[in-house]
Amino acid sequence: MKECSNNNSRIFYHKDVATIERLVTAMNKKNVKLEQAINRAMSSVEENEIATVATDSVTDTEHELHHMRVIRNRYLS
């Protein structure tokens, strides 16, 4: 579900920005392509899902995975 502000613009949460920062860092510092960076970030989130449930809600983890899938589909299609 896309959340919007009062002026109907997309709301980006800290986790959204952090995910994008991880993708950019992987692409710039590790010289990987966008698809590789997304796959690594997604597998990292999936592997850490059990650990993060203790501090974050499952909905937050699913939210982050959803946004990575959207980014992957948007830029790789």
Residue whose C-alpha is closest to residue 72's, from 30, 43, 49: 43
Record the pTM: 0.47
Q: Pick 2 or 31 by higher pLDDT.
A: 31
Q: Pick 28 or 58 by higher pLDDT.
A: 28
Q: What is the DSSP letter of 64?
A: H
Q: How far is CA 11 from CA 7, 8, 39, 47, 55, in A?
A: 10, 9, 24, 26, 22
Q: What is the DSSP letter of 11?
A: P
**pLDDT of res. 52:** 41
